[in-house]
């Protein structure tokens, strides 16, 4: 699958991979900074942004999509930075492009299986809007607020609502969400891997540390206190500093 992407800057390539319901713009605060000294590649994963849609959505096919893009762009000595679902895609790519990847950073995600509960309410509301052909932005916002979705997440979701349609594939994400939550244990990858954990998030818990080190023995885990799952947006400067330190900039 030919993915939509954005290139900026010159130098060693850094590939940025967003989370579920997102787009290549979601990590722009990081890419904009790194584009000063690196070549940045921001990617719309399948079923998101302006990339093609598909009924299939698991980490193997998502990683294969990105691997195809990296091959087309002739990227070598890459650094991968992914948030949430995009972090899992990056971790999976360690098995497909091991020789071409130098380092991987996974933001608030671990190589473990998760459960549907975290986004169940969002998927319910999105599916309801899709099924009932609700395209009025104010009505969608009201439904989300009534469902208890907080304002920050509503604003994040609505960034992908353009011209009365969702840029992400609601039906496919809902149908394939068990695959998005899932994880198949991979062979140990020995290169440097950074895991950035939001201090207020439940996505990387102490219980996940063993799975991290089993699969990524050279991992480093950093905690950003006071941040939730979208740690890169909530504490952008701290995340940038952690990444710069880790990369030796």
Q: What is the pLDDT of residues 56-88, one digit of tens each?
A: 999 999 999 999 999 999 999 999 999 999 999
Same domain assignment for residues 213 and 106: yes
- What pLDDT sits at residue 125? 97
Beta bridge partners of 107: 83, 196
In the numeric block, the tokens 């885990």 are attached to 221
Per the structure, the count of domains in the chain is: 2
Q: Which of 175, 193, 225 delimits the end of a domain?
A: 175
Same domain, 97 and 192: yes
In the numeric block, which tokens belong to residue 42?
A: 């921001």
Q: Are 206 and 181 in contact (CB under 8 A)?
A: no
Residue 22 has pLDDT above 70, yes or no: yes
- pTM score, whole prediction: 0.96
Q: Catalytic positions, please?
A: 84, 229
- pLDDT tens digits for range 127-170: 999 999 999 999 999 999 999 999 999 999 999 999 999 999 99
The answer to whether residues 9 and 100 belong to one domain is yes
* Integer Cα distance of 149 and 226 in angstroms: 20
Residue 18 shares a structural domain with residue 56:
yes
Query: Which of 15, 167, 180 is closest to 109 using CA atoms?
Result: 180
For residues 67 and 22, state if they share a domain. Answer: yes
Q: Which of 138, 155, 175 is the last residue of a domain?
A: 175
Alpha helices in 35-148 (DSSP H): 59-72, 85-93, 117-131, 137-146
Pairing of strands 101-107, 193-198: parallel
Q: Are 87 and 119 in contact (CB under 8 A)?
A: no
Residues 145 and 209 in one domain: no
Q: Are residues 126 and 98 in the same domain?
A: no
- The vertex-63 CA angle with 57 and 69, nearest 5°, equals 115
Q: Are residues 63 and 77 in the same domain?
A: yes
Partner residues linked to 82 by β-bridges: 17, 106
Instruction: Name the phi and psi angles at 41, rounded to 5.
Output: -125, 105
Domain of 63 in residue numbering reads as 5-114+183-247
Do 104 and 202 lie in one domain? The reply is yes
Interstrand relation of 13-17 and 78-83 (parallel, antiparallel or unpaired): parallel
Pair 40, 61 in one domain? yes
Judgement on whether residues 80 and 191 belong to the same structural domain of the protein: yes
Q: What is the CATH number of the domain that holds 18?
A: 3.40.50.1820
The answer to whether residues 64 and 146 belong to one domain is: no
């Amino acid at each position: 699958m030919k993915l939509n992407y954005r290139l900026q800057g010159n130098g060693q390539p850094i590939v940025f991979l967003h989370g579920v319901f997102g787009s290549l713009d979601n990590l722009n605060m990081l890419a904009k900074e790194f584009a000063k000294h690196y070549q940045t590649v921001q990617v719309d994963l399948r079923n998101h942004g302006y990339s093609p849609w598909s009924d299939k959505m698991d980490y193997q096919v998502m990683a294969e999509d990105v691997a195809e893009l990296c091959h087309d762009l002739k990227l070598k000595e890459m650094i991968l930075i992914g948030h949430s679902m995009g972090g899992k895609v990056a971790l999976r790519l360690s098995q497909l492009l091991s020789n071409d990847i130098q380092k991987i950073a996974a933001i608030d995600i671990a190589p473990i299986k998760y459960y549907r509960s975290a986004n169940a309410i969002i998927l319910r509301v999105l599916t309801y809007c899709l099924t009932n052909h609700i395209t009025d932005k104010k009505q969608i916002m009201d439904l989300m607020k009534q469902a208890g979705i907080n304002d920050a997440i509503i604003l994040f979701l609505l960034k992908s609502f353009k011209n009365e349609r969702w840029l992400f594939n609601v039906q496919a994400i809902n149908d394939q969400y068990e695959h998005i939550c899932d994880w198949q244990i991979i062979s140990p990858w020995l290169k440097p891997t950074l895991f950035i954990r939001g201090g207020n998030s439940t996505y990387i818990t102490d219980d996940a540390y063993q799975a991290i080190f089993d699969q990524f023995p050279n991992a480093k885990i950093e905690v950003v206190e006071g941040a939730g799952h979208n740690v890169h947006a909530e504490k952008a400067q701290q995340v940038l500093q952690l990444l710069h330190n880790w990369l030796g900039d």
